[in-house]
Amino acid sequence: MTLTPILEELCIPNYVLSVTCARFLSLLAYLPYLINENSPKFGESDDYVHIPGLSPLPLSTIPPPFFNPTLFFTSFAISNALFLPKAKGILVNTFERFEPDTLAALNNGRVLSNLPPVHPIGPLEPYKLEKGEQLSWLDDQSVKSVVYVCFGNRTAMSKDQIRELGDGLERSGCPFLWVLKSSKVDKEDTEEIEDLLGDSFLERIKNRGIVVKAWVNQEQVLAHPAIGGFVSHAGWNSVMEAARYGVPLLAWPPHGDQRVISEVVENAGFGVWVRDWGWGGERVVKGEEIGGKVKQLMSDEKLRNRAMEVEEEARKAFQDANGSSEKALMGIIETLRLAETA
């Protein structure tokens, strides 16, 4: 956002790319008004945050740093939000049928009258990286029988929670592929799987599950016909990747925008979210609870059918010539082309 004044002076069109959902983008855009010294503080009147044009956001979904405007994270978010009206447009990695009401509210001026057009251009196609660890084990599993468990690069669980998650996966009775992390991406992860889970666990699940500590190509995993469900931290990129391949989610949000995203996933009928599991690390969720929810995720035919509908909606949005995301992106390219030749 700090480039905006320079781009304005040079008459270079400035587009902002949002990497979260449209609903959280609305919260970010409206944040300066929520924290304004003349407005009521979060939660002063009730348990919801009210943004014009949107259904109320539960206070419990708001990232805790937003309650403290003196924090650098919050002040930086506010300063960025104030630059949004100066952009020519905002590109969002979402698609029309996934967040229709929020996109409509953003684009008809109900959220803020001074926002530029918000263009849904997702799900974005992932960059073709080299393949991760070879997971030939998946090829031997039945269609949509395997639950994929991964919490992204920025989320690490305590050893106690890791063991409870292992217990839950075992209790679920479902085949599983678990990408295990005990530290964040920028910290050295030296603990062995055996030390975290115990040899007896690995022995018990050797014919039904696989646990890896290596990087895997998530797109490749989600595209595999054996994958039938995804236990996820509800990072927005992961949600959109799951939407591309019609894989329903069990959302377990640990921080940041991920509770708002989990609500979006649930409202879209694309997944389930257990609110009382709390923010990451608030409490150790027991294996019995986890196992029950994994079993529900993998056996819910209504959820699976809705996931297939989402996959078709996503495909139409970014593949069809008249798809909402394709049209939005081509429209931006045409606007830039005309501006260049003018």
Fold classified for 4-120: Rossmann fold (3.40.50)
Helix or strand (DSSP H, E) at 333: helix 324-341
Cα–Cα dist 36/41, whole Å: 8
Where are the extended beta strands (E) located within 19-129?
48-49, 57-58, 89-92, 118-120
pLDDT at 121 (0 to 100):
95
Instruction: Classify 136-314 by CATH class.
Output: alpha beta
Give the pTM: 0.92
DSSP reduced 3-state for 252: coil
Can you list the alpha helix ranges (DSSP code H) found in 232-323?
A: 236-245, 258-267, 287-299, 301-319
Q: From first to last of its 342 residues, what are the pLDDT tens digits of the chain?
A: 556 667 767 777 889 999 999 999 999 999 999 887 555 566 566 789 999 999 999 999 999 899 888 899 999 999 999 999 999 999 999 999 999 999 999 999 999 999 999 999 999 887 665 555 557 899 999 999 999 999 987 677 889 999 999 999 999 999 999 999 876 654 556 678 888 898 899 899 988 999 998 888 999 999 999 999 999 999 999 999 999 999 999 999 999 999 999 999 999 999 999 999 988 778 899 999 999 999 999 999 999 999 999 999 999 998 887 899 999 999 998 888 887 776
Q: Where are the domains of the chain?
A: 4-120, 136-314
Can you list the alpha helix ranges (DSSP code H) found in the chain?
A: 4-9, 22-34, 72-83, 100-107, 159-172, 193-197, 199-204, 218-223, 236-245, 258-267, 287-299, 301-319, 324-341
**Same fold across 4-120 and 136-314:** yes
